[in-house]
Every structure is written in C-alpha cells, then in structure tokens.
Chains A and B, each alone.
Chain A
Amino acid sequence: MVTAKIMKMNHIKQGKFSALLKLTIAGILLFSPVLAQAEIEGVPLHGFLDVGYYTNSKDANNPALPDLPRGFNVGSLDIYLTPQFEGNVKGLIELIFETTPEGSLATDLERAQVGYTFSDNATLWAGRYHTPYGYWNTAFHHGAQMQTAVSRPRFLDFEDKGGILPAHMVGLWATGKMRAGDGKLIYDVYAGNGPAIAGNVLDIQTAGDNNNQAMIGFNLGYEFSGMADGLRMSLYGLRGDVVDDDAPPNKTELSMAGAAVIYQENNWEILGEYYRFSDADQSGGTGSHSSWADYLQLGRNFNGVTPYFRVEKTVLDQADNYFAMQDNGQSYFRQAVGLKYDLNQTTSLKFELNNSKFAAEAGRTPYDYRRFLAQFAIRF
C-alpha cells in the first residue's frame, strides 16, 4: 500500500503537454508584433535548471518498503517569459520539464497568466498561477536556485510530490503593494477552480471546475523597513469545497488559516509558516476536524556559504476526508540540515541531510527514512 503511495507521489505528467500549452506558445507568436516596442527590446527568457544526486536509508522496521529513487538525477528545467504588452497588459508564461522516477520526460504548463496593471497598487491576473498562500509557494516554487534548501517543506511541495494544498490555481488573482507608514502593505485576493481529489492526489482542475466548487483565498501582509528592513509578516486563508473520487464521493469544506514570519536581511534567513485547518465534513456528517502543519527554517550566509536547519511537522486528522483521501495526507515530522554554497550569483551547490518519520495513524503504515541530497542549481 505504502509502495503504491510513494510511487504515486511522483506520478507521470507526460501527456499533459496539452493543447493549452501549444495555444499559449502560438499566442505569444501571434501577439509578438503588438509587444510594446518602445518599452522593451524583445521578450527576455528566464529560467532555472537543477541537477542532483540523492540516496536514502531503508526503513529497518519495514523491509518491504521500496527504496526511494537514488543516484544522479535531472531535477527540473524551468523556463519563464514575462512579455509586456501595450496598455498595461502583461503576461507570465512558465514551462516546466522534469524527469519522472521511471526516467521519462514530464512537461507541464506551470503558469499561464495574463495580467492588467491598474496602478502601482493593483494588478489583476487571470489564468493559471501559483496559489499565493504563505510565502514559499510563490517566492520559490520551481526556482531551486533561489531557495537556500535543496528540498521544499514536504507539506508545501507540489500536489504530486508530497503537498497537501493546491500549489496551483486556475482563476483570478488580484495583488498589490501600497505604502503604509514606513513599510508596505501587501495583499493577494484570489478565487478559482476548487481542487478535487482524484487517484488520491489533489487535482487543480486546469481544464474547468467540473464539480463547481470554487475556492477563494487571501494573503495580507506587511513589509517593514528601516531598522526592521527584511522583515515580512502575513496572515492568510483559503476556503472551498473539495470533492474526492471515493464511492460515494465525500465532500469536505476545506478551511485553512495561517501566519508567516519571514526575515531575509543582514545575511540571515528566517522562514516560518503555520497552517491551521478546520475542515467540515459536508457529506458524511462527521463534523469538523482540526489539523495543523508548520515549518521553521534558519540560515546564515557567511561569504557565500549558507548553513541551514529546518524542522517541519504536520498533525493531520485522519478522520478528515480531505487528508485521509490524499496519499500525502499522513502526519510526519522532518528535520533537515544542509549547506548552500554560491559559486557566483547565479550558480549554487547545495547539500542536505534530512530525517523523516511518518506517524502510525488509521489506515497508514508508519515508516521513517533518512535521505542525503546534493543539488547543482543555476538561474539564467
């Protein structure tokens, strides 16, 4: 059971190189003549690439568990474009290329956003975007070279790699910043297709909201300046109904609220995010279920060498169908220690050792493992 679950976490995305992607590329070519020639010179191509190596211990208590993939690997190639059109219209197109554990190529249209900037304080995006909860998901996402650690906190990972929240959303997103006192008030308000749970993995429903369960959310924060420059604090929430593919299907009202404290200045990096869930069973009548997840990461840059440490933990109620129906919904505790070495401002070499322990819960097999990861990451 756990074997299948672990393998399914890395399910193949090949075949998703869909008509939507082709349409997007065609759209860029079609509209390129109306790019604001006076404002920009061409459309810059940006991206990230990472390759690496990993190995892991075997769970002595569960010898039947399969090994996680080990050895050298191609992480991901992430390419994104930021075309600026006339009339305050802009775009953000991001493509991701990854290899699956089976060695085949997986491609995905990671983001396809069209935005209109009303003023310095407000931009409205439509399309597929990174869901703006917390900090990590929009700040780093597939940009491995930008983040200090090799790995993401597992519960904030992508839907098919350990994440328990919809890391992507298709819909509308209003975002902006405005001066308030010495610092800046930052906000995100968004609404889009609510995810479903299909095959025990969150499905963000890119092609349309088949179950008509919209999801809404917000992120409200403050960026300090002056003595507290680099400090950012925010509150965020997310709410919507999620239907799974059980027989009969369960309907759960997902309700998440959280807070983040981020400090990135004076060579320090302190990242902390907390998520509280109060999910209501809409179909089975089992009431509300509380769960939580958090992580804290500390790092300090010494002339391009940044040692870091992270702890992350989830306590997820298995009576909550939202978690019970997800492969990634098992509670766990992880410690990670690592080192990032910046060869230059666009190239980093990283090493990480982490220890993960998955809880004994109803319907779950407890297991634990240690993992060593090395990563060579660049941005361009």
Chain B
Amino acid sequence: MKSTFFRYISAVLLVLLLPQLANAADVVIITHPATTISAGDVKDIFLGEKQFSGGTKLIPVDNASMQDSFLTKYLDMTKSKYSSSWTKKSFRDGLTPPAIKSGDAEVIDYIKRTPGSVGYVSSAPSGVNVVK
C-alpha cells in the first residue's frame, strides 16, 4: 500500500518536473573552441558587462529562434527590456549589440569560424565548446 502510494507520488512528480527539465535543457551555451567562459559569465557577456576572456575579446551572438527562452533562463528579462538595456549600453559606452542569427545552424556556423564568439542553441553540436 505504502509503496503504491509512493509510486503514484513519484509518477505525478515526474510528470510535473519533466517540462521543467525539458526547458532547462532547451538552451545550450556554446563558444568558439578556443574560447573558455563559465556559466556564471553568460549574463554579463550578453549585457555587455564582460568583454574579455583572458586576452580574447568576446563576441556574443543572439539566436532569434530561442531568444525568449534564453533571456528568461539566463538574464531573467523580457526581450523588450533586453533591447532597452542594449540601447542604453550602446549609447553610453559605444558598444555594439549582439548580432542576431536566425537559428541554430547560423549560430553554430558563426561560432565555429569566429574566435571569441559566444552563442546559444537548442542542442549541443560538435566542433564547439559547450558551457556547463
């Protein structure tokens, strides 16, 4: 009786958690193979606060097909606020907002050929660094 109860509870929890786990796995941060960053740097990189990793200049690139998920998960902000934040940053500090690529394929291609680049995709590809 007790084990049946726990099996039900476990099944319910699994059903409830699966979408969360799926969402958490949705956004994969990748970098050029010669570029090393930590997951804790992602927010600062995409807000223009961190521009270097060692001696390498970092180049963040947005992925239009996943931007909402990425902004929610890593920056905790809406697209509107992100855009507004970059307008202020660019206007005051002379920085250029991240280029926007249409989807995973474009991002991966850009990351592979651009030293210092940092992007995000829906699944981990080969030939790039995956940030954990």
Give chain B interface residues in 66-101, CB to chain A under 8 Å: 79-80, 83-84, 87-88, 90-97, 99
Give chain B interface residues in 49-70, CB to chain A under 8 Å: 49-52, 57, 59
Residue pair A115, B83 in contact (C-beta under 8 Å): no
Which of A88, A91, A119, A345 neighbours the largest number of chain B CB atoms within 10 Å of its CB? A345
User: Is A46 in contact with chain B by the CB < 8 A criterion?
Assistant: yes
Would A115 and B87 be within 8 Å (CB), given that A39-B116, A40-B99, A120-B52 are in contact? no
Q: Give the A-B contact count at a CB cut-off of 8 A.
A: 57
Q: How far is the CB of A79 from chain B (nearest CB, A)?
A: 12
Residue pair A123, B93 in contact (C-beta under 8 Å): yes
Give the complex CA separation of A174 and B92 in angstroms.
13
Residue pair A39, B114 in contact (C-beta under 8 Å): yes
CB-CB under 8 A from A117, the residues of chain B are 51-52
Residue of chain A at shortest CB distance from B49 = A177
Residue pair A46, B90 in contact (C-beta under 8 Å): yes
Would A39 and B94 be within 8 Å (CB), given that A120-B49, A146-B88, A345-B84 are in contact? no
CB-CB under 8 A from B92, the residues of chain A are 130, 138-139
A38, A115, A119, A146: the one contacting B91 at CB < 8 Å is A146
User: Is A234 in contact with chain B by the CB < 8 A criterion?
Assistant: no
B83, B95, B116: the one contacting A82 at CB < 8 Å is B95
Residue pair A345, B83 in contact (C-beta under 8 Å): yes
Interface footprint category on A: 20 to 34
Give chain A interface residues in 56-70, CB to chain B under 8 Å: none
User: Is B33 in contact with chain A by the CB < 8 A criterion?
Assistant: no
Residue pair A38, B88 in contact (C-beta under 8 Å): no
A82, A130, A146: the one contacting B96 at CB < 8 Å is A82
Residue of chain B at shortest CB distance from A265 = B81
CB-CB under 8 A from B51, the residues of chain A are 117, 120
Q: How far is the CB of B117 from chain A (nearest CB, A)?
A: 9
User: Is A309 in contact with chain B by the CB < 8 A criterion?
Assistant: no
Give the complex CA separation of A80 and B114 in angstroms.
26
User: Is A84 in contact with chain B by the CB < 8 A criterion?
Assistant: yes
Residue of chain B at shortest CB distance from A46 = B90
Chain B positions within 8 Å of A, measured between CB atoms, are 49-52, 57, 59, 79-80, 83-84, 87-88, 90-97, 99, 114-116
17 A-B interface contacts by CB (under 8 A): A38-B115, A39-B114, A40-B99, A44-B96, A82-B96, A90-B94, A92-B94, A119-B52, A120-B50, A139-B88, A139-B92, A141-B91, A143-B87, A146-B84, A146-B91, A175-B93, A345-B83
